[in-house]
Amino acid sequence: MPSISEEKIIVTGRIKPLVAILKHKWLALLIIISVIGFGVPLSAKFGTSSYEAQAVILVSPKFIPNLASEKGMDLGRIQYSFYIKQQINMIEKDDVLEEVLQIPEVQKNWLRDGETIKRGIKRLQTAITAKNRRGTPFLKVTLVDKKAKRLDIVLNAIIKVYLKKNKEENLYDSDGRIIRLRQRNKSLEDSIAEKRKRRNKISEELGVTTFQENSLNPYDDILIESTSTFMLSQRKLVETETHLESLTNSRSGSKTILEILVNEIIANDSILKNYRIKLSDRSAELLTQMAGLTKKHPSYNRAKQEILKIERDIEQATKKLTKDSRERLLENSKAEIYQAQRIEKLLKNELDKQRTRANRYSTLYNEALVINKEIARIYIQLNKIQTQVDFLTIESDAPGFVRLDTSATFSVKSGKRKQIIIILIIIAFGLGIGIAIFLDLLDRRIRTPGEIHKILGFPPIAWLLENNNNPDVEQLASDYLRRMALALERDWHVHDTDYFVLTAVKPGAGTTKLTLQLATILTELGVRTLALEMNAFKNDPRYTEGTTSTQGLSTLLNSNSSLPPELLIVSATDTLPDRLPIGETQSRHLKTHGKLLNILKQLKNHYDLIIIDTPPLLLSADAELLGKLAGGVLLVVEAEATIPGELKRAASLLERLNPPVVGAVLNRVKVFRGGGYFAELIEEYKTGSKKKPNWIKRLLWK
């Protein structure tokens, strides 16, 4: 099969505009007549001559002041676009046109007999158009009417009234607008005074003279310091509470911290030490005295009693000091806790006050900042108002934004009927020709040898023109048929191809006629040729012409038959070759009983070449059966009766059979006037000389 790139360069010759037009000439003619018939009334309605007047207005994006003022104003791009649209609408406003129609000269040139002012306004609004070409500052105002001749007078009056209204409404209404602007100015100044009063009050309360963004709050440092002190007092309270708890709690198997501290105090108390020393010294003296005395001596008992008293006094003094120290340590710890709690409470109250002050300061300070912004914004508004007041006080003779550029001159009579008719004729012929070509393109049926070449990958061995009783066409077709027969003869000589099978893609393609014609021409060329009918799908009476016998190939294929094949051959006539008909069949396909190959061999003993006429390939399986026996298969394609899909399916069936030789024949090719290659070929064949190109080709390819 050919590659895609090869298919792309194959010229099919399918697109033939002139052929398409001639083929659908009546439809194209109907479309042309219909469009022109429909367009003529439209041209009469919309192409009637009328009078027209034009004026041009300049709408400047920049206000041009007079010499008495230096202030100007520019319109932005978006503002300017809206301003243009506003001016277009203003020209067609009822009040503008009503004032125009109050002018006697305008009434004379516009109002019709018995027409009211209201109706005249409606006609004016319909007849007048104002357009702005994008990117330019000009408004083109056009007034059109079929009867009024002096439209220039009417249009100039409209422009004059419009310009006056524009100055009154959009620019020079200074009385009312300036009063309203000054009232607004007074309201804004009162608002500024009120806001300044409030800002001064805040300034006095906070003790500041200016208010600036990102300014530090003086209470922030105090608040930070108070928070730090409060946190230290909380820590001190926790420490004192922990200390008291540690004094009273005892660890298992050991003394409490309170006992240790009390013992340390007792051990370090100098008074108790001196007291103990004195009592110990006295006790030593008494023991010395008792050493020389008996227990019955009165002094012994007194000394012993005094010693016991000394020991009791020491114990009591120790117990008293222990109790006093214990109570003092506990009281001191509790006092420290009370003091820490008191300090924490006082600091918390102070911290709350500082926070309240800081919040109050921050709120008032921010309020003052907002007041500053509002005052600044109001000042901007005041400046704009003052600018607008100054702008409106410019004298009324300033050029402003809008002014007349070109006034309307004499009315011009114009009509577009001829242009409309010419356009309609062009559209009519374009539609007629276009639809004819479009319908021709929608027809997918195969018409040219190039299409077969593109689908199959190889060109057909012949294409045969349809015989339409034209001697020139018939003569050329006979010549091409003879050329095809010579090709078969050449293949017979070179490749020893004894059998050729002719099958069509679809029925009615002319396979039988082609078989008989080829057999006749080959016989005339000296090649003994037999036309063998093997089309049980539909037999042809031409095979039995000149004989009354009903026997044929089907008789030979009968299992009980032993007749020699040559006995059933119908002899050639002036127009027909030797032929073997199919004979009577009971079914639409052949029952060979395995005898077909032997019969063909017997026939080959009497003929050099056998051309087998078979049923259509897509309808009967007999063509596939016979394709296996033949040395070559010729696929007949009827022009303008076969679509590409059918040819592709037939080609795929032949591809499975894989015969030694495969060829295609395009049969019944139609020749149209303007048919390009075919028509020119017939002309050259008739005259025997090269056809000269027409004047268009000579002009394009000189």
Write down the pLDDT at residue 469: 66
CB 467 within 8 A of CB 673: no
Both structure tokens of 160: 């004059």
CB 632 within 8 A of CB 491: yes
Place of tokens 């007549």: 33
- Angstrom distance (rounded) from CA 616 to CA 636: 9
Question: Spelled out in words, what is the top-level CATH class assigned to the domain 49-172+396-414?
Answer: alpha beta
Write down the pLDDT at residue 695: 47
Q: Mean pLDDT over residues 567-571, rounded? A: 87
CB 138 within 8 A of CB 60: no
- Angstrom distance (rounded) from CA 26 to CA 520: 41
Range of weakest confidence among 139-143, 213-217, 318-322: 213-217
- CATH for 218-392? 1.10.287
Examine the pLDDT at 159 and tell me if it is beyond 80: yes
H or E element in which residue 600 lies:
helix 596-604
Q: Rounded to the nearest 5°, which phi and psi values hold at 635?
A: -95, 115
CB 93 within 8 A of CB 173: no
Edge to edge, the sheet with strand 661-669 lists 462-465, 661-669, 632-638, 499-504, 609-613, 529-533, 578-580
- E strands within 338-408? 400-406
Highest mean pLDDT among 101-110, 334-343, 364-373: 101-110
Write down the pLDDT at residue 189: 86
% of the chain exceeding 70 in pLDDT: 77
- Angstrom distance (rounded) from CA 81 to CA 338: 82
pLDDT tens, position by position, 635-684: 899 888 888 888 888 888 888 877 777 788 988 887 765 445 555 665 55
Both structure tokens of 206: 């906070």
What's the CA angle centered on 633, arms 632 and 639, to 5 degrees? 145
Both structure tokens of 645: 């899909």
Q: How many CB atoms lie within 10 A of CB 123?
A: 16
Range of weakest confidence among 273-287, 473-487, 552-566: 273-287
Q: Mean pLDDT over residues 58-79, rounded? A: 60
pLDDT tens, position by position, 395-427: 444 445 677 777 877 665 555 667 777 888 888
Residue 254 confidence class, pLDDT cut points 50, 70, 90: low
- Angstrom distance (rounded) from CA 614 to CA 66: 104
Write down the pLDDT at residue 528: 93
Report in angstroms the alpha-carbon separations of 150 from 54, 100, 322, 409, 465: 12, 15, 136, 9, 72
Amino acid at 385: I
What is the sign, positive or negative, of the torsion defined by CA atoms of 104, 105, 106, 109?
positive
Examine the pLDDT at 566 and tell me if it is beyond 60: yes
Q: Mean pLDDT over residues 221-227, rounded? A: 71
Write down the pLDDT at residue 408: 79
Write down the pLDDT at residue 74: 64
Both structure tokens of 326: 């214990």
Highest mean pLDDT among 22-26, 221-225, 400-404, 646-650: 646-650
Highest mean pLDDT among 440-449, 540-549, 603-612: 603-612
Domain edges within the chain: 7-32+415-442, 49-172+396-414, 218-392, 449-688
Look at residues 222, 188, 250 and name the one whose alpha carbon lies nearest to residue 375.
Answer: 188
Write down the pLDDT at residue 195: 85
- Angstrom distance (rounded) from CA 460 to CA 664: 5
Highest mean pLDDT among 45-49, 61-65, 478-482, 622-626: 478-482
Write down the pLDDT at residue 559: 64
Examine the pLDDT at 451 and tell me if it is beyond 50: yes
3-state helix, strand, coil in the chain (%, to 5): 60, 10, 30
414 or 451, greater pLDDT:
451
- The mean predicted confidence, pLDDT, of the chain is 77
H or E element in which residue 87 lies:
helix 77-91
Both structure tokens of 322: 């222990």
Q: Mean pLDDT over residues 77-97, rounded? A: 82
H or E element in which residue 32 lies:
helix 25-46
Range of weakest confidence among 92-106, 115-129, 341-355: 341-355
Write down the pLDDT at residue 681: 60
Both structure tokens of 264: 């340390």
Place of tokens 């390939």: 617
Q: Mean pLDDT over residues 565-573, rounded? A: 87
CB 489 within 8 A of CB 522: yes
Examine the pLDDT at 112 and tell me if it is beyond 80: yes
- Angstrom distance (rounded) from CA 651 to CA 636: 11
- Angstrom distance (rounded) from CA 183 to CA 175: 12
CB 460 within 8 A of CB 449: yes
Q: Mean pLDDT over residues 274-295, rounded? A: 73
Both structure tokens of 16: 């033939």
H or E element in which residue 636 lies:
strand 632-638
- Angstrom distance (rounded) from CA 638 to CA 668: 6
Q: How many CB atoms lie within 10 A of CB 90?
A: 17
CA-based max dimension of the chain: 200
- CATH for 449-688? 3.40.50.300
Write down the pLDDT at residue 624: 67
Highest mean pLDDT among 167-171, 221-225, 399-403, 694-698: 221-225
- Angstrom distance (rounded) from CA 138 to CA 128: 16
Q: Mean pLDDT over residues 613-622, rounded? A: 81
Look at residues 445, 434, 431 and name the one whose alpha carbon lies nearest to residue 14.
Answer: 445
Write down the pLDDT at residue 577: 92
Report in angstroms the alpha-carbon separations of 485 from 137, 153, 472, 526: 82, 90, 20, 12
CB 132 within 8 A of CB 139: yes
